[in-house]
Amino acid sequence: MQDLKGKVAVVTGGASGIGLALCERFLEEGMKVVMADIEESALKRESKRLAALGGDVLGIPCDVRDPEAVKSLADGTLAHFSGVHVLCNNAGVAPVGPMLDTSPDDWRWIFDVNVLGVAHGVTTFAPILLEAGEGHIVNTASEAGLASNSLLGMYCASKHAVVGLSESLYRELADTGVGVSCLCPNLVDTQIFESERNRDDRKELLPSQTATIAPLREAVSAIGIPPSKVSGDVVEAIKHNRFWILTHDTTEAVAATRFHDLKTQSNPSDPYQLLSENPELTVFFETKT
């Protein structure tokens, strides 16, 4: 899909962060955009802003945890634009803290959004793309889907699931005309670590969770790359039918530390500590092209 002009893109989590940047970049490419988000105030504001700038934009409230809501999203897209070509399963949440301080409700929330939300998008929209004979699906995972991290156990588990889902989907859709990409960003300047704002129960964070999330919010603000950089990477991946979308140069080496551990039969390493103590591994893990 090298020419995106006139095509229709659906983006979940489209009213902020990476999702909003994707909507903006797709409009720059001449696409029509359906912004879907659970945060209705932000959705109304941003869809109105983009439309005022000349974008062909449709905002549809959608809770990706609900398969019927995702079906309504598809129905609304087809009714308004008569087609869809790109789906970005981008909605996600990131609760943090020690796993022993988590509850069943915590696990249910993150997997309902991060994993089932992607699955609902795939099973609803992929048949539409297949019938049309063209299209592309982008699933937002994370570098945390390629390497584990303490205090992000639930998030890592959910994003590992998205990576596995995406790899399997790629194989299932091979040679159908429908491409698949898996987006695995490191820190991006978004509100991902403030996702509790959209949680139904709005429960108060435990002290251990607050202590964990505060430095992550600071790091995102201080060194997170702009979402516009990520959206550019996504567009390039769609145009060139590339599966992996890695936003940071360190991700390949970080992911490869797992295979270093497997090869040496070592217990799980902290990727960043291993690489800082063994800088030669960074060179060893570089992809040769």
Encoded amino acid at 46, one letter:
E
Please confirm, yes or no, whether 155 is among the known catalytic residues.
Answer: yes
Q: SS3 of 82, please?
A: coil
Detail the DSSP E strand segments found in the chain.
8-12, 32-37, 57-61, 86-89, 135-140, 178-184, 244-246
Contact indicator for 139, 94 with CB cutoff of 8 Å: no
Residue appearing with tokens 């945060």: 39
| Whole-angstrom distance, CA of residue 173 vs CA of residue 177 | 8
Looking at the chain, list the stretches that DSSP marks H as alpha helix, in order from N- to C-terminal side. Answer: 17-28, 40-52, 67-81, 104-111, 117-132, 153-172, 207-223, 227-239, 251-264, 271-277, 280-284
Q: SS3 of 235, please?
A: helix
Q: Are strands 32-37 and 86-89 parallel, antiparallel or unpaired?
A: unpaired
Residue appearing with tokens 């060194």: 223
Residue 181's region, left for phi above 0, alpha for psi from -120 to 50, else beta, is: beta
Of the listed 26, 109, 125, 155, which one is catalytic? 155
Contact indicator for 142, 155 with CB cutoff of 8 Å: yes
The tokens for 128 are: 């539409």
Contact indicator for 140, 90 with CB cutoff of 8 Å: yes
Q: SS3 of 206, please?
A: coil
What residues act catalytically? 155
